[in-house]
Amino acid sequence: MVWDSGRLQGESVSTSRKTLGQVRGLYLHGSASTLDDDTVLYTVEWLAPGGLTEGSLLWGCTHLNPGRVGDEYFMTHGHYHAISSRAEYYLPVSGSGVLLRMERDGRTWAEEMIAGKVHYIDGRHAHRVVNTGLEPLIFWACWPGDAGYDYASIAETGFGLRVVEHDGKPLWIEKAR
């Protein structure tokens, strides 16, 4: 493992990548964007040494590229854990952005992500990362093997905040509730 560059090595490393074509609908002006479907938004590398079992821990790293879809910064899909008692740590090592956290009732807040900070995410909170910088935002994560993912709720309701560029700076826009 290379901490600062967020790289895992070895045969047991799994990888995935998310392209704009897979998540265009999450962005407010996704369908109007001329960015190609093949645009890579982020990649994830992870290890599951104990399998996806109760009591095991997963360890992974996300590289979220800089960029915007319209005026909205590149972001991860975001999810709740399928088991709501399963918490998670996020540990940014490079780049800058925000971690959005949301309660089931839609209440959402943003935590600034900078290298060296540690974010503890309650298992009941949806979590999404937004890259507001010019460099890749790289963060490690540690979460329980049996946490699972609920992406559908996010695809349906989105988060209570969107992060857009306004006059060259990030601006949080609240969704009407």
CB of 127 to ligand S6P, least distance (A): 6
Listed residue (111, 125, 107) closest to 161, CA to CA: 107
Residue 125 interacts, among Zn ion, ligand S6P, none and using kind-specific CB cut-offs from 5 to 8 Å, with: none
CA 131 to chain centre: 9
| Contacts (CB under 6 A) with ligand S6P, residues 61-100 | 62, 76-79, 88
Considering the rule CB under 6 A, would residue 131 count as an interface residue with ligand S6P? no
* CB 37, CB 20: distance < 8 Å: yes
Which of 82/114 has CB closer to Zn ion? 82
**Residue with smaller CB distance to ligand S6P, 44 or 57:** 44
* Contact string 22-61 vs ligand S6P (x = CB under 6 A): ----------------------x---------------x-
Binding mask 47-86 for Zn ion (x = CB under 5 A): ----------------------------------------
Taking the least distance from each CB to ligand S6P, the nearer of 9 and 34 is: 9
Using CB under 5 A, list all residues that contact Zn ion. Answer: 88
Using CB under 6 A, list all residues that contact ligand S6P. Answer: 18, 44, 60, 62, 76-79, 88, 127, 141, 143, 147
